[in-house]
Amino acid sequence: MARLVFILGIALALVASMADAAVVERTFRVGNLTVSRLCESTVINAVNGRLPGPTLDVREGDTVVVHVINDSPYNITIHWHGIFEILTAWADGPNMITQCPIQPGHSYTQKFTITGQEGTLWWHAHASVIRATVYGALIIRPRQGTKGYPFPKPDKEVPILLGEWWNANVVDLANEAFLNGTSLSASDAFTINGKTGDQYPCSKEDTYKLEVEKGKTYLLRIINAALDNQLFFKIAGHRFTVVAVDASYTKPYETDVIVIAPGQTVDALMVADATPARYYMAALAYVSRDNSSNLPFDNTTTTGIVRYKSASPSSQPVMPTMPSFFDNDLAFRFYSSLTGLCRPGDGTVPLHVDEHMFVTVGLNFAACLPSQVNCITQSLAASMNNASFMFPTTMSLLEADYKGVEGVYTDDFPDYPPVFFDFTNASVNSDTALTFTTKSTKVKKVKYNTTVEMVLQNTAIVGIESHPMHIHSFNFFVVAQGFGNYDRATAEKSYNLVDPQERNTVAVPTGGWAVIRFTANNPGMWIMHCHFDSHLLLGLATAFEVENGPTPESTLPPPPPDYPAC
């Protein structure tokens, strides 16, 4: 009898959990939108006529179905940043990696189930630099009937999407940069929820406002959707408790500044415990490169206004004291202080490593490609292990892999750089044998369920810089990070194999290194790249080809019927 009750109990629980899971169906129409910003009227690409685009608000276990319709004049794709995409590699979205682009006038339905992840993620275009204005939040709440958040339930939740703005057409700028063999020019502004804020000309009305009540707690879901800049974010008079990053819970971490790289998210609790008044929230660039070279960057500040209900709407908002653009120590302190919450049942860091990789990341020079018609003598480039990634043009990597088509890519991405040198010493720039790279489409092939440790080592070629490295489909654990050249003997002593932070994007310390570990437990083709779009376009990428496993549950099904053709 007891046994029957037990079985019945399990059956009921199963039915209940299945009943909880919903199908969330949406239409994303990408098209032109005319907006005015900074005293100018500009035509941008936007989803459903909004900037930022619509928020996808779902629960863990839900199946998401998005009909993407391309009414824009560009080839586009949409990527669900941070979603595991278990057995749905066809829906991941990066252009020419998992699919050909959706051409103007065409559509593609992307379907995936959200399994084993909660928190803040986002979606964005993944072709050229179209994500500058084609992005939105993807919020995953705990499944109904579960314990809910591992922190006291906030009174209100507020998405804060940080973006970057160009007055000119940013796709034109990127095309021009490619032809010249240079990098995308600096932006004109940053934005909070699509608005620049009143520190810019003609922008008084274009300011994001958040009304708060004294004593209440707000969960800020902060997303860095900027193309090419890490950011410092503060709110005058208030502190934060970080409770999650990249949809992975962290141990609570108290801070008055958030440091966030493109691709990353931070969930932070903020108690409205200040004197009722008006306060600015503000974000500006964290510029990690050595600025003695005086390279131009966007040195503007975007602001929003936090207003206490009882405060006078005409009072002057209090401005936070912002960090210096170049505060590497502050950025490192924030990034390296986070630890995972580690609840029972959560994934744990692999203790056994099947594949060790040591991968340099950074900028380079390369010969001009014939298509770079305005490029003189050499082009700016970027690489991983001196392989500068070139997107295929005839067929996506995934389709080529699935159909066994040769000649689209090679699976010889190296586990180590061609030579070991004094990676972070600026004198490397006098040796063209080290600074030059070549273009190729190399991927790293691994067996299903392989555990990978990758040391990411920044180089001083062209200049040191903190690159936000992102992998599709897999969260990884950041087990250690530091400045200078990685040295296994000393670094290994600092490995956190107990409660490391789990992320999908790590900002490798400038002129330094980070060690990540993950399990390649999903068959497909998964791009790994720098989440600065300008660097991705210069070749700072590779991909993992993860083979099918032994069972139907570990085998990628065929592509959907409306899978875009090139």
Would you tell me which residues interact with ligand C2O (CB under 6 A)?
Answer: 79, 81, 94, 124, 126, 263, 470, 472, 527, 529, 531
Judged by beta carbon, residue 278 or residue 529, the one nearer ligand C2O is 529
Least distance from ligand C2O to the Cβ atom of residue 136, Å: 12
Least distance from ligand C2O to the Cβ atom of residue 333, Å: 25
Classify strands 217-224 and 355-367 as parallel, antiparallel or unpaired.
Answer: unpaired
Judged by beta carbon, residue 138 or residue 462, the one nearer ligand C2O is 138
Least distance from ligand C2O to the Cβ atom of residue 59, Å: 22
Judged by beta carbon, residue 190 or residue 391, the one nearer ligand C2O is 391
CA distances from 144 to 15, 178, 244, 247, 277 (A): 13, 48, 20, 17, 37
* DSSP classification of residue 179: H
Q: Among 147, 6, 161, 196, which residue's Cα sits nearest to residue 81?
A: 161
CA distances from 109 to 25, 32, 140, 211, 526 (A): 10, 20, 20, 37, 20
* DSSP classification of residue 436: B
Least distance from ligand C2O to the Cβ atom of residue 537, Å: 12
The C-alpha R_g of the chain, in whole angstroms, comes to: 23
Judged by beta carbon, residue 81 or residue 289, the one nearer ligand C2O is 81
Least distance from ligand C2O to the Cβ atom of residue 93, Å: 8
Least distance from ligand C2O to the Cβ atom of residue 359, Å: 17
CA distances from 288 to 412, 462, 529 (A): 31, 13, 18
Least distance from ligand C2O to the Cβ atom of residue 163, Å: 13
Least distance from ligand C2O to the Cβ atom of residue 396, Å: 14
Judged by beta carbon, residue 123 or residue 477, the one nearer ligand C2O is 123
Residues forming beta bridges with residue 360, ordered by sequence position: 457
Least distance from ligand C2O to the Cβ atom of residue 113, Å: 19
Cis before 418 (ω within 30) = no
Please answer whether residues 446 and 355 qualify as being in contact, where contact means their C-beta atoms are separated by less than 8 angstroms: yes
Least distance from ligand C2O to the Cβ atom of residue 131, Å: 8
Rounded Cα distance between 26 and 214, Å, is: 36
Rounded Cα distance between 203 and 40, Å, is: 11
Backbone angles phi, psi at 537, to 5 degrees: -70, -25
Judged by beta carbon, residue 269 or residue 541, the one nearer ligand C2O is 541
Q: Which residue has the tokens 């040191």?
A: 464
Judged by beta carbon, residue 79 or residue 503, the one nearer ligand C2O is 79
Backbone angles phi, psi at 16, to 5 degrees: -60, -45
Structure tokens at 316: 């002057």
* 3-class SS of residue 44: strand
Q: Which residue is nearest to ligand C2O (CB)?
A: 81
Least distance from ligand C2O to the Cβ atom of residue 94, Å: 5
Judged by beta carbon, residue 131 or residue 307, the one nearer ligand C2O is 131
Judged by beta carbon, residue 122 or residue 477, the one nearer ligand C2O is 122
Rounded Cα distance between 501 and 492, Å, is: 17
CA distances from 258 to 224, 279, 529 (A): 11, 16, 23
Backbone angles phi, psi at 563, to 5 degrees: -55, 125
Rounded Cα distance between 243 and 221, Å, is: 10
Judged by beta carbon, residue 200 or residue 474, the one nearer ligand C2O is 474
Judged by beta carbon, residue 132 or residue 527, the one nearer ligand C2O is 527
Please answer whether residues 308 and 272 qualify as being in contact, where contact means their C-beta atoms are separated by less than 8 angstroms: yes
Q: Which residue has the tokens 């300008």?
A: 534
